[in-house]
Chains A and B, each alone.
Chain A
Amino acid sequence: MSDARALTRPRAPLAAFGAIFRNEARLVWRQPAGAIAAIGVSTLILVVFGELHTFQQPSSRLDGLSAFQIYIPILIAFSIGLLALVYLPGPLVAYREQGILRRLAVTPVPASWVLAAQLAVQACLMLIAVLIIMVVSVAFFGQHSPGNLGGFLLAVVLSVAALFAIGLCIAAVAPTSGAVRGITAAVLYPLLFFSGLYYPVQLMPTVMVDISHFTPLGAAVQAIVYPMFGEFPPALGLLVLAAYALVFGFLAKRFFRWE
């Protein structure tokens, strides 16, 4: 039996994953709404705020930072959140609905590779968004590169993991593409509110600030802002993100259906 098994081993797993990844990347290129929203919109907001004179003034009400500075981590969290919660579950649920995952399940390649390729493509978009935000704010608006680069990378990676887990959980429980849009709308806007995108968290009542620190995007902003100015991210933010990643990752794995 061993020789027959040797014969039936998938040919080149890496080539197969590469081919799936390339096609997923092509689809993002041909349906660029997600990339435009996550990268384009955040860059646009960054540039507009950067040009506003008042946004460049440090304020004691914002812990001595300028409004522009507090928006840098918020826009990073916004890009990550939008891609993970909207543009990750959308295609996955559509693939399940249309039988694309089912078709892949009868090839030698596991259907989970499409999921992995989606994560990889979205992670690339997030990386581009973070790079553009940092480069633009350093090159054009007088900011410094993150003072604690290790802490910054750790905070970004944990934020990505937490939001990916939540996005996969949405993909797991949403029965249809329509349901994804509904769930996403119900989840995304409150989370964006608590990240401070609409109104600075620092100016909210204390109870709102506390809630914010326990929401995924609020925790992400907390974790990212400290290393930008040389400090290690606060333990609370990192722990909250890690907890979201673990709990929602487990739920996603538990409830994900391939058909």
Chain B
Amino acid sequence: MTHQDRRDDAPGLNETGGPGFVARTPAVEVAHLRKSYGSVVAVDDVSFSVAEGEIFGILGPNGAGKTTTVECVIGLREPDAGTIRLLGLDPVNDRAELHEVVGVQLQESAFPAKLRVGEILDMYRTFYRNPADVTELAAALGIAGKARDYYRSLSGGQQQRLSVALALIGRPRVTVLDEMSAGLDPQARRDAWRLIEQVRDRGTTIVLVTHFMEEAERLCDRVALIDDGHIIALDTPAGLAARARGGKTVRFEPSAPFDEGLLTRLAEVTRVERDGRHVVVTGTGELVNAVILALHAAGVEARDVRLDTASLEDAYVRLTEERERPEEPRS
């Protein structure tokens, strides 16, 4: 049971990409997690597993149970039921070992107002066996020039970047980031995304709580959509998006009239509609190729082809709205 050799071959995982690498021991495994505060059930029967080297997104509306879920994973809260393993460690019983291998950025964490950025970084550095280089890390997060500044003089975005730096300072094998890009301006957000990708490329597993669709779409290999304490969907961002609209659409102008049956009998196609001179085909998979090849075989050329993919945002809105319909009274 050695963990360190996995880190070395972890970058190889990225070549396969996507969700295809579930065969390995998961970095994070959550099974039937349940947590309530008094009579309010925050999380109910949540199960998922995160593969090593993966960027796993947890998405959902405010109060859906995202933060409670990750707080159980990092040992800040004790689950009422269910099991959690992070690299084989139990967050409740193996706290010290767990915190050596997991780096955390909490949604609301402050530091003493009158400590300097460098002093905070140097202090957190001593907490870990094999810490990152402080200068390098500060530079990567764009706070290198701030080492002598008091924490209270930092802008919200700079405080956020310090918080992300502290999540990475112990060279964690799993990093949990809760609303990492909240308060960052668009440029800083993009810088942070690039950094997260670099960190992943070094073999670190990342669990990302967010409600920025663009962020989840850009970074996450897979996304769990949580609403009202339940996981309502778990897929790749593209997979979720495809589900939202029943797939993607191809819109084109045919060079000549053709029989619609030509397209409707293709496995990839679910619907064919006419929109003036244009034809709109809805379907899944390699839709564009299938449509163009079929038309070509019939001697028809597709002009002005436009592929329209549903976004993760469409999926999010649709899936969370579906749950809003009153199926059962909420207690």
- Enumerate chain A interface residues (CB-CB to B < 8 A): 1, 3-5, 7-12, 15-16, 18-20, 22-23, 26-27, 30-31, 91, 95, 98-100, 102-103, 105-109
Cβ distance B173 to chain A, nearest Cβ, rounded Å? 10
Residues of B within 8 A of A (CB-CB), count: 37
From B37-45, B120-128, B141-149, B196-204, give the one contacting chain A: B120-128
* Given A7-B4, A11-B129, A99-B109: A19 in contact with B123 (beta carbons within 8 A): yes
Is B110 interfacial (CB 8 A cutoff)?
A: yes
* Given A7-B3, A106-B75: A16 in contact with B129 (beta carbons within 8 A): no
What are 26 A-B pairs with beta-carbon distances under 8 A?
Answer: A1-B1, A3-B2, A4-B2, A4-B97, A9-B100, A9-B129, A10-B128, A11-B127, A12-B126, A19-B125, A22-B119, A22-B123, A23-B112, A23-B119, A30-B114, A98-B110, A99-B108, A99-B109, A100-B109, A100-B112, A102-B106, A103-B104, A103-B110, A105-B76, A106-B106, A109-B127
In the bound complex, residues from chain A placing their C-beta under 8 Å from that of B130 are: 11
What is the CA–CA distance of A107 and B106 in the complex, to the nearest angstrom?
Answer: 12
In the bound complex, residues from chain A placing their C-beta under 8 Å from that of B280 are: none
A27 touches B112 (CB 8 A): yes
In the bound complex, residues from chain A placing their C-beta under 8 Å from that of B99 are: 106-108
What is the CA–CA distance of A256 and B141 in the complex, to the nearest angstrom?
Answer: 36
In the bound complex, residues from chain A placing their C-beta under 8 Å from that of B102 are: 106
In the bound complex, residues from chain B placing their C-beta under 8 Å from that of A9 are: 96-97, 100, 129
Is B258 interfacial (CB 8 A cutoff)?
A: no
Cβ distance B5 to chain A, nearest Cβ, rounded Å? 11
Q: Which residue of B lies closest to A258 (CB)?
A: B76
Cβ distance B124 to chain A, nearest Cβ, rounded Å? 7
B124 touches A107 (CB 8 A): yes
> Which of B75, B100, B102 has the largest number of chain A CB atoms within 10 A?
B100
A108 touches B2 (CB 8 A): no
B110 touches A100 (CB 8 A): yes
Assuming A19-B122, A99-B106, A107-B124, what are 12 further A-B pairs, CB within 8 angstroms? Answer: A4-B97, A5-B97, A8-B101, A11-B126, A11-B131, A12-B126, A27-B112, A30-B114, A106-B76, A107-B127, A108-B170, A109-B127
* Given A23-B115, A27-B112: A8 in contact with B126 (beta carbons within 8 A): no
Cβ distance B1 to chain A, nearest Cβ, rounded Å? 5
A11 touches B128 (CB 8 A): yes
Is B74 interfacial (CB 8 A cutoff)?
A: yes
A4 touches B1 (CB 8 A): yes
Cβ distance A6 to chain B, nearest Cβ, rounded Å? 10
What is the CA–CA distance of A26 and B120 in the complex, to the nearest angstrom?
Answer: 12
Q: Which residue of B lies closest to A12 (CB)?
A: B126
B106 touches A108 (CB 8 A): no
What is the CA–CA distance of A178 and B119 in the complex, to the nearest angstrom?
Answer: 28
Per-residue CB proximity of B82-120 to A under 8 Å, as 1/0?
000000100000001101111010101111101100011
Partner of B100, one of A10, A18, A31, A99: A10
Partner of B126, one of A15, A27, A103: A15
In the bound complex, residues from chain A placing their C-beta under 8 Å from that of B125 are: 19
Q: Which residue of B lies closest to A11 (CB)?
A: B129
* Given A23-B115, A30-B114: A103 in contact with B3 (beta carbons within 8 A): no
What is the CA–CA distance of A105 and B4 in the complex, to the nearest angstrom?
Answer: 24
What is the CA–CA distance of A15 and B129 in the complex, to the nearest angstrom?
Answer: 11
* Given A16-B126, A102-B106, A106-B75: A8 in contact with B114 (beta carbons within 8 A): no
A16 touches B75 (CB 8 A): no
What is the CA–CA distance of A109 and B76 in the complex, to the nearest angstrom?
Answer: 14
Closest 10 CB pairs of A and B: A11-B129, A8-B97, A98-B110, A103-B109, A8-B100, A19-B123, A19-B126, A106-B104, A16-B126, A30-B114
Cβ distance B113 to chain A, nearest Cβ, rounded Å? 9
* Given A9-B129, A11-B130, A108-B96: A103 in contact with B123 (beta carbons within 8 A): no
A4 touches B115 (CB 8 A): no
Cβ distance B91 to chain A, nearest Cβ, rounded Å? 10
